[in-house]
Amino acid sequence: MNRLRLLLAATAALTALLLQATLVAPLSQPLAISLPAVLVACVAMVDGAGTGLAFGFVVGLLSDLGSAHPAGVLALAWMCVGLFCGTIATQHSLWRDAVAAGFACGAATLAATLLLVVVGSGGATAFGAVVDSVPAAIGDAGLALALVPITRAFLRSERLRAPHPVFTDLAVSATYD
Amino acid sequence: MRGLTKLSKRQRISAVVLGIVALAFITLDLGGSSLRAAHTGMRGVLGSLYRGTDSVLGPVRRFVEGVPTAATNQARIEQLRSDNAKLKAQLAAQAADKRTAAALHQLKLSANATGSTVLAARVIAFGPGAGFDWTVTLDAGSTSGVRVGQTVTDGVGLVGRVLHADANTSVVLLAADPGSGVGVRDLRNGEIGVAKGQGNKGFAFTPLSPDAVIKVGDLVETGPLNSSSFVAGIAVGTITSVRVSADGTVTATIVPTVSPTALDLVGVIVHPGVQGTTRTPITPTESTSSTSATNTTTQTTQAGSQQAGHR
């Protein structure tokens, strides 16, 4: 079961990175809408902060190494997305989770850009990042609206369920039982 | 802070550890070249995957990107709307082909005009962190002759320069990148200066001489020869506004010839032609009338070549 979860996580991460570079980024220019970040948020919403933390770090590092800016920036940002979304997930409302995911991703992109401004790397500008952050967050929320049901369906299936019950699962069963 | 208390002790420790690891990565990458091999390897792997994905998703992307500019074909589109999905897909493919043919024609014209060797390449991916990485990935690499530092054009204007060249893909830093500066020349009065990229908003042009008179509508091109990292004589844009600040500094805004977000087929100048040609010195001639005639001819030729550079 664990091997299957790892395989699926790797596939999902790679798919998100490829779709981001070939479809989402070109079509959403110049906004910084990020499909991998939204994926991290959605996974964390279902599987909790621990999974979100690790998944966000790995996906972020892969994305970092594949681009021109210093490695570690997106790893740090998306790790925080996983951590944050894992702790605030409700599991009840699709809309609330999607909006929370969108704004967490928007804030993470803003933070990553500001970090790049601080270390003086690449073409980051603080003003542009702040101006673009709200529309980018709305775009992220739109992606999350589509991704949250998919990740829920996958991660709650019998074969992909987390090996140990995560905290949010307990909260849900306590409410429904 | 209700949320953070839900974290177990183990999760809190791993969060801190991973945070420190990420900061260590940033420091290592900023400080030196210790992560260069990892960057190159990952870029190579992702680059080849982008090529595969783009061959599948590229037509979809080009169709969606073509929608806003398709207004001129409105009547034809109205007619096609009633047709089936197969015909629509065919139209999208045709439009893309047409655009490719036009772009290729433009590259050929510019190669003919400047005498430089241009390698056509297609944009297959945009920077993964759109918004803070103004880079695009091309489907041509070092095996096709692409080298780091070469100038990239779309046949009309300046696109950027090659930042990394892997075997089959290369990464181009766009001239619009807010961290990039281009050495440019105002074509009307020959004033040179620096155009700093400003993303979608074009460039900010600062002439070297504070007394330079810059006018709205002036054309700006790369140059002068060999003093900038770009091939000279490529159109950068048109000046749309000029601002003189209290201390007399002149700053002008340049609208770029090439939109940095609508790139598809571009050309890498693998061999700039005009540099290093031998020429004969101008010698004084007997009659004054023939001298003035020669001058006029020279000016006409210059104007002609400048126009050709802007085609």
| pLDDT at res. A69 | 83
**Structure confidence by residue, pLDDT tens digits, B180-197:** 788 888 888 888 888 888
Percent over 90 (pLDDT), chain A:
16
Other Cβ atoms within 10 Å of A118 Cβ, number? 10
Determine whether A159 is exposed, middle or buried from the number of CB atoms within 10 Å of its CB (0-12, 13-18, 19+).
Answer: exposed
User: Which is it for the CA torsion B304, B306, B307, B308, positive or negative?
Assistant: positive
Q: Find chain A residues with C-beta within 8 A of B30's C-beta.
A: 70, 119, 121
Contact state of A69 with B132 under an 8 Å Cβ cutoff: yes
| pLDDT at res. B34 | 76
Contact state of A128 with B199 under an 8 Å Cβ cutoff: yes
In this structure, what are the phi and psi dihedrals at residue B94, rounded to the nearest 5 degrees? Answer: -65, -45
**pTM metric for this prediction:** 0.57
Cα–Cα nearest to B308, from B89, B104, B24, B116: B116
Look up tokens 């040609």; give the residue: B277
Predicted confidence band at B89 (pLDDT cuts at 50, 70, 90)?
Answer: low
Q: Which of A97-106, B16-25, B226-235 has the lowest mean pLDDT?
A: B226-235
The two tokens of residue B156 are 């009309």
Region of B75 (left: φ > 0; alpha: ψ -120 to 50; beta: rest) is: alpha
Q: Find chain A residues with C-beta within 8 A of B8's C-beta.
A: 50
The two tokens of residue B123 are 């944009």
User: What radius of gyration, in Å, describes the C-alpha atoms of chain A?
Assistant: 16
Question: Rounded to whole angstroms, what are the CA distances from B237 to B161, B232, B268, B307?
Answer: 17, 14, 19, 14
Q: Find chain B residues with C-beta within 8 A of A65's C-beta.
A: 35, 38-39, 41-43
| pLDDT at res. B212 | 82
Q: Would the pLDDT of A131 be above 70?
A: yes
* Strand, helix or coil for residue B253: strand
How many Cβ contacts (< 8 angstroms) between chains A and B?
A: 188
Question: Rounded to whole angstroms, what are the CA distances from B32 to B28, B59, B162, B164, B232?
Answer: 6, 40, 21, 17, 32
State the number of CA atoms in the 13 A half-sphere of B287 facing the CB.
Answer: 4
The two tokens of residue A35 are 């499909």
Fold classified for A3-159: Arp2/3 complex 21 kDa subunit ARPC3 (1.10.1760)
* Strand, helix or coil for residue B174: strand
Minimum CA–CA partner of A73 in chain B: B26
| pLDDT at res. B101 | 77
Chosen from A29, A61, A168 to mutate, greatest number of chain B CBs within 10 A: A29
Q: Which of A113-122, B107-116, B284-293, B302-311 has the highest mean pLDDT?
A: A113-122
Q: Which of A132-141, B122-131, B199-208 has the lowest mean pLDDT?
A: B122-131
Minimum CA–CA partner of A115 in chain B: B26
Question: Rounded to whole angstroms, what are the CA distances from B116 to B107, B109, B155, B271?
Answer: 10, 11, 11, 6
* CA of residue B273 relative to chain centroid, distance: 20
* Helix or strand holding residue A121 (H, E): none
Q: Which of A20, A49, A72 comes nearest B26 by C-beta? A: A72
For chain B, what is the mean pLDDT? Answer: 77
| pLDDT at res. A154 | 85
User: Which is it for the CA torsion B57, B63, B67, B68, positive or negative?
Assistant: positive
Rounded mean pLDDT, B110-119: 73
To the nearest 10°, report the CA torsion of A56, B58, B142, B234: -110
Taking the Cβ of residue B61 and every Cβ of chain A, the question of whether any pair is shorter than 8 Å is answered with yes
Q: Would the pLDDT of B299 be above 50?
A: no
Minimum CA–CA partner of A120 in chain B: B179
Question: Rounded to whole angstroms, what are the CA distances from B254 to A124, B111, B200, B203, B231?
Answer: 20, 25, 11, 5, 19
Please check whether residue A43 is in contact with residue A147, taking contact to mean a CB–CB distance below 8 angstroms. no
| pLDDT at res. B293 | 46
